[in-house]
Amino acid sequence: MCKTVSLDKYDNSWYHPGSAWKRLVWYFVNVSFLKNTFIPCSSLKVFLLRLFGAKIGRNVTIKPGVNIKYPWFLEVGNNCWLGENVWIDNLAHVKIGNNVCISQGAMLLCGNHNYKKETFDLIIGEIILEDGCWVGAKSVVCPGVTLAVNSVLSVCSVAQRNLEANRIYQGNPARGIRIRTIS
């Protein structure tokens, strides 16, 4: 007989992303100021992220509708742009280098589940976007993935493995399609 997933056995009690109080307060700040599409002011969002432990560089633009799970697991370099409706589901550390663009609707997902286990265990992995990367609109970066310097993940693509430097990737799963040259 074939086993099936048994969600009543799911247990992620080992995972401690911060105190319940801190997460609750952040939830309301995130919904009120970051996810809120009526607040276009990046400087207020940067201030609030720093207040909750994010390391944010200079000249960072955060567009309306951005959703960040846990700012204390977030590091953003200088001259970066987080486009409208970007979702950073950072159950683990996310490090974004300098001059990185994350376009509209892109998702950085640090968590997944082990579909091979009856208990559907939570799996987490950090994400690193090195300097000069571009994550295209509606693209997904999966747990444990690094986008190397100047790599590009094209629109609606899924990075399930590390991307090499100075290459453009496309598709699901993303595959290298050409070299990126910057003039």
- CA distance from start to end of the chain: 60
For residue 61, what are the β-bridge partners? 81
pLDDT, greater one: 124 or 40: 124
Instruction: Average the pLDDT over 90-117 and give the result.
Output: 97
pLDDT of the residue at 117: 93
Residue 64, preceding peptide bond in cis (omega within 30° of 0): no
pLDDT of the residue at 28: 97
pLDDT of the residue at 16: 95
Percentage of residues of the chain with pLDDT beyond 90: 97
pLDDT of the residue at 3: 86
Our CA angle for 72, 141, 58, nearest 5°, is: 45
Residue 14 is assigned to a structural domain of this protein: no
Residue 13 is assigned to a structural domain of this protein: no
Residue 69 is assigned to a structural domain of this protein: yes
Residue 162 is assigned to a structural domain of this protein: yes
The average confidence (pLDDT) of the chain is 97
CA-derived radius of gyration, the chain: 17
Q: What does the buried/exposed string (b/e) look like for 71-100 if buried means 16 or more CB atoms within 10 Å of the residue's CB?
A: bbbbbbbebbbbbebbbbbbbbbbbbbbbb
What is the rounded distance in angstroms from the CA atom of residue 130 to the CA atom of residue 123? Answer: 23
Q: How many domains does the chain have?
A: 1
Residue 143 is assigned to a structural domain of this protein: yes
CATH number of the domain that residue 173 is part of? 2.160.10.10
Q: How confident is the model at residue 2 (pLDDT cuts 50, 70, 90)?
A: confident
Percentage of residues of the chain with pLDDT beyond 70: 99
What would the two tokens of residue 34 be?
């970051």
Residue 88 is assigned to a structural domain of this protein: yes
Whether the predicted pLDDT of 159 surpasses 80: yes
Instruction: Indicate the SS3 state at residue 131.
Output: coil
Residue 74 is assigned to a structural domain of this protein: yes
Whether the predicted pLDDT of 44 surpasses 80: yes
Whether the predicted pLDDT of 36 surpasses 80: yes
- Predicted confidence (pLDDT) per residue in 54-103, tens digit: 999 999 999 999 999 999 999 999 999 999 999 999 999 999 999 999 99
Whether the predicted pLDDT of 124 surpasses 80: yes
Whether the predicted pLDDT of 1 surpasses 80: no
Residue 9 is assigned to a structural domain of this protein: no
pLDDT of the residue at 32: 96
pTM (global) more than 0.85 = yes
Our CA angle for 107, 112, 115, nearest 5°, is: 140
Sign of CA dihedral 181, 79, 149, 63: negative
Domain boundaries, position 58 = 19-177
